[in-house]
Structure 1
Amino acid sequence: MKLSQKLETCIPSLTLKLAEQAAAFTAAGDSVVRFGTGEPDFITPDYICAGAKAAIDAGHTKYDAVAGVYALRQAIAEKLHTENGLEYTPDDIIVGSGAKVSLSVGLQAMLDPGDEVIIPRPYWVSYTEMVKLAGGVPVIVDTDPAANFKMTAEQLKAAITEKTTALMLNTPLNPTGVFYTEAELAELAKVIVEADIWVISDEIYEAFVYDGAEVVSIAALGEEIKAHTLVVNGFSKTFAMTGWRLGYAAGPRPLIEGMKKIQGHLISHPSTITQYAGITALGEKGDVVSTIVSTFDTRRRAMMARMDAIPEFRYIDPQSTFYIFVDISAIIGDNKYKIASAYDFAAQLLQEEKVVTIPGEAFGVENYIRFSFATSLEEIQEGFDRIEHFLERRR
């Protein structure tokens, strides 16, 4: 039977085999340390769960607006105003089933077949596939490790062609744990406005910044760049609501209206119960988020301390997110380790020591491993004891 040609170009996760093996080890009763997770290990805060239960009791279990519950869009508009300096009305916002859906629907609303979307490398693996599934062509821009893999305005300008429609910009950035400064964003904004292209600003990790740093949304740098920007964010990371599937996008009204047309046919809208939980999450958060971020900061420092003691590891200073991107070229380049690639490192480490990591190939780069510190301090110490043992046998 016929299947779509899109399936031939849509690449499955490179880490699927590793994930399946880790699950098999766990099912067999082995102790597995997971440094690969892309979600907070906390249970969703009680007050949010209570908000969902109250929504059920109040009968909020029916269809609602395609763009999302109006009260949630009001709450998001207020959040964007107070926290990001962005002025949007509820009609400029669309709520989706996770930020991933908002990214995908946004691309479908922007792209015609053959349109190009610029994606800096390293990139979150789904970006390229989302572009292809929307009929677009991903254009990968190689970035400099010496610049913490951040794309410059000159690199962006050089990548733009007459077919360029958009730039995918992730800041704070998965997998590197860095973010673009206001000055860096301002330089990118000049190029974007001059070229008259879209920028999709994926800001899902905005809450996870450390050492007193502050992040800025590129849309906040002026009305011209705001008119070219689709801001995408969600509740999964900040509020430990990954399984609830709640995200949103804010942008110029014609784009949002176009996204509503598409979303109305694809998913209608996210669960109304989840949306009411989102209203509660924003309205009653208090110091919940700052407490979560403080906990992650403690874990970040613990993982960095263990990495500093491993001479084969060189890592990018994790200023944000909950990831550390580690250069293991010294291991791959030395025959005594008998490790051919980052994927090989991850596979051998999992097989021998039951430690899960994500190889750089998943993000389009070689010789790097992504570690997540979205786990307990005890797991961090145990995991690095195992990594030390793994390396010591090869030294």
Structure 2
Amino acid sequence: MAIGGSVLSCFCLFPFSVSRKDKSQSSGRSSSFRLSNSEEVDRISSLPDEVICHILSFIPTKEVVTTSVLSTRWRTLWTSVLALDFEDNWPCFFNTNFASIVGSILDQRRAKSINRLCIHNHNKSFSIELIGTLVSTAVAQNLQELDLFCYYYLEVTLPNILFTCKTISILKLSFGSTINLNGVSSIHLPSLKVLHLYLLYLADDEPVMRFFSGCPILEELCYEEVKSNNSTSFKICMPLLKKLHLKCHDKRVQIVTPSLEYLQVQETKVCDTLVCNLPNLIKTHVDIYFDKCEQEYVSKLFNGIHHTNFLELSTYTTEVLADSSFGFPEFHNLVHLKLCLSTIDYCFLIQLMLTKCPKLQILDIDKVYEESAERKRTLPTTPVPKLS
């Protein structure tokens, strides 16, 4: 099935041509838009092929293919685009199926490399075999970015060639099912800088530990809702990591990342997060909860992040602090503090924070809910630190 001339091409046409047939209608516009006679201006088609292909790389492949009907020049331009962005809402005609459409696109491509492969599957249009074929094809063509968002599978096994790809720099995996890494013999991703793991289920923690150790220059990690049957603690030990987003409920995670500049701990029990000293921290978002018997972990967490320049504390976190009785550390670099409060009774917490932040310049207070209109607002008596 030749996609370039198929009925699929009629589904999305781009307004690349601008008609200028009535000079009087443009009299109020800049002179640069006025034309002396009736003609069509097609500025996009005047661009070099490389520029047009770069523009097309930011839209889904379905729309890219349909540009083949615009003109003779555009008929094969889509075959040189370096990105493949597949969604599962493609229309199918004449007894064709989704797999045959994808296969036809791969067969007609002229580009010898794939910079980005994005697969978003909501309705199980992609079979496991088709996903494996696409990933293997992309890796063999110097893949740089992979984004897999696939559900409705009991278990997903990715091709081994992905985990030794020398060119991939961005990897995002979201499955909502069990991902099988036990059969992966080797994990070495020397160019990987961004790793997002979301809604994954692992048989145990050992494969993800091997995953981390196989990414020597990783700079950004999003580890969200990754679950396993093994409840033992493990370390996120990455010397070059600069950005970490952590949302974890079922295991204790120790963060050993001395180069970390951005930290977001979201909806996480405080005893599950052991933060070592982070001397380069710039921006921190803390959203934690705890039991009263776990106050010692609150102290460890805040001692680990006390170098930060920006700090945002969620409503749950301010409740943790209000109910805690530990020695709050001094935030000697803190310039911007944002507090989300659930009650005005926490003004004493604001007072405490002000005394511990000598360089504070900006104080944001958000989401203050008064429990009673008759309650008298008590303002902190300690003055805001003066700017140096």
* TM-score (normalised: structure 1): 0.23
Which of the pair is proportionally richer in strand?
A: 2
Normalised TM-score (structure 2)? 0.24
